[in-house]
């Protein structure tokens, strides 16, 4: 039997359309060259920029191609004079530790027990420094729980205080509307490999030109209109654009399909393991994500047991799941450390099937019984 891949929030398998675009551009010239080969490469990059700008609802000259979300966060989250950074307590580690604000100019905004940003605490954080211009870093969808964050509401609050909102839309794009109009954000960033595109590409987009990074975070030969130096990764950018267009075109149909599969899996997990705790169950979640814990069963042991049985899932963020410390996201939700250490995450995507869901529950029943029996002995 083929393996079951249920870890799309870590990385999505490469879509055939993205693979075709990637392979087709591998021999492309240098997009900064003026000869025919260079012009052809430039056309690929600019076609991708048009597609990205159209998907996010901004101008093409307000989109910068980067290597991924980590670079995007580090580029966007640099202090300007008089600014103070507010970070949602559940943000990805590339936001939590990737900014360059001094510690005294950073504050954390609480989550509620369902994993959504606490808007009352946001008001309180803004009131703490009324003379400072606030920059709020808030993801559109949490990567561990799938909980949808109140980005538009938070943006309205921050804008009323004269601030800006930087939105990590990595886990949200193709799952919920993510344009500037839909989110109210000022800056958005995406990562190719979360959409089924190649690794090594992403986009950083701006609602206004005055928000764009100066000086450039990576200085070099003046690429990306001098906002990001370095020879463009033409093949990865082409693959990214192909994945982005296909993912967005299929968003509504995929949402309907995946929410049925996610709910089927959730019901099956609770039937087999009534003691399971579902995280964010009462909040709005994207269709593809299911985060739960099995009290008393260590997550790393369960992940290994599923791997042996041919199932790939995770114990949280791929950037953090190999570490001993419990999830900072679950801690921010008030989940006890003991329960957090038992947290597992299933995340679905474009190639997930109902047949895989049925097989997973059969495997889950076997693994759960075996682990509980060991715990009792």
Q: What is the pLDDT of residues 30-62, one digit of tens each?
A: 999 999 999 999 999 999 999 999 999 999 999
* CA atoms of 57 and 51, how far apart (whole Å): 10
Domains in the chain: boundaries: 4-13+250-376, 16-248
Q: What is the mean pLDDT of residues 243-250?
A: 98
How far is 302 from 323, CA to CA, in rounded Å?
15
Closest by CA to 188, choosing from 170, 215, 162, 201, is 170
**129-158, pLDDT tens digit by residue?**
888 999 999 999 999 999 999 999 999 999
Respond yes or no: is residue 178 known to be catalytic: no
Report how far residue 101's alpha carbon sits from residue 84's, in angstroms, rounded to the nearest whole number: 8
At the topology level of CATH, where does 16-248 sit?
A: 3.40.640
CATH 3.90.1150.10 fits 4-13+250-376, yes or no: yes
DSSP 8-class letter at 274: T
Q: pTM of the entire structure?
A: 0.95
Q: Are 346 and 6 in contact (CB under 8 A)?
A: yes
Q: Which of 94, 125, 178, 319 is catalytic?
A: 319
Integer CA distances (angstroms), 84 to 72, 119, 195, 252, 279, in order: 19, 17, 32, 37, 31
- C-alpha 138/C-alpha 131 separation (Å) is 21
- pLDDT tens across 305-357, in order? 999 999 999 997 555 545 556 799 999 999 999 999 999 999 999 999 999 99
111 forms beta bridges with 117
Beta-ladder partners of 345: 291, 314
Express each pLDDT in 169-185 by its tens digit: 999 999 999 999 999 99
Share of the chain above pLDDT 70, in %: 97
Helix, strand, or coil here: 179?
A: coil
- Cα dihedral sign, 347-350-352-354: positive
């Amino acid at each position: 039997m083929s393996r079951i891949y249920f870890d799309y929030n870590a990385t999505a398998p490469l879509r055939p359309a993205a693979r075709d675009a990637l392979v087709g551009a591998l021999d492309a010239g240098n997009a900064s060259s003026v000869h025919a080969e260079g012009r052809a490469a430039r056309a690929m990059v600019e076609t991708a920029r048009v597609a990205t700008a159209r998907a996010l609802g901004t101008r093409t000259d307000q989109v910068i191609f980067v290597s991924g979300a980590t670079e995007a966060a580090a580029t966007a989250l640099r202090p300007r004079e008089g600014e103070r950074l507010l970070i949602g307590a559940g943000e990805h580690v590339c936001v939590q530790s990737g900014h360059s604000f001094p510690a005294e100019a950073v504050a954390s905004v609480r989550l509620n027990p369902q994993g959504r940003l606490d808007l009352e605490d946001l008001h309180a954080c803004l009131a703490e420094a009324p003379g400072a211009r606030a920059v709020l870093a808030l993801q559109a969808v949490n990567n561990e729980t799938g909980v949808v964050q109140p980005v538009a509401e938070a943006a309205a609050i921050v804008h009323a205080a004269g601030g800006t909102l930087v939105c990590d839309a990595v886990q949200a794009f193709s799952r919920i509307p993510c344009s500037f109009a839909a989110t109210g954000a000022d800056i958005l960033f995406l990562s190719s490999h979360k959409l089924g595109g190649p690794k090594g590409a992403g986009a950083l987009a701006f609602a206004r030109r005055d928000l764009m990074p100066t000086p450039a975070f990576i200085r070099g030969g003046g690429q990306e209109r001098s906002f990001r130096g370095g020879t463009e990764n033409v093949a990865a950018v082409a693959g990214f654009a192909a994945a982005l267009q296909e993912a967005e075109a299929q968003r509504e149909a995929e949402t309907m399909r995946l929410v049925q599969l996610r709910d089927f899996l959730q019901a099956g997990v609770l039937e087999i393991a009534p003691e399971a705790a579902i995280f964010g169950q009462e909040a709005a979640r994207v269709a593809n994500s299911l985060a739960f814990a099995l009290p008393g069963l260590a997550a790393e042991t369960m992940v290994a047991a599923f791997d042996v049985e041919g199932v790939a899932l995770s114990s949280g963020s791929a950037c953090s799941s190999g570490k001993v410390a419990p999830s900072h996201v679950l801690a921010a939700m008030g989940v006890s450390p003991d329960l957090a250490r038992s947290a597992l995450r299933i995340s679905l995507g474009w190639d997930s099937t109902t047949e895989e869901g049925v097989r997973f529950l059969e495997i889950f029943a076997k693994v759960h019984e075996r682990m509980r029996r060991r715990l009792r002995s």
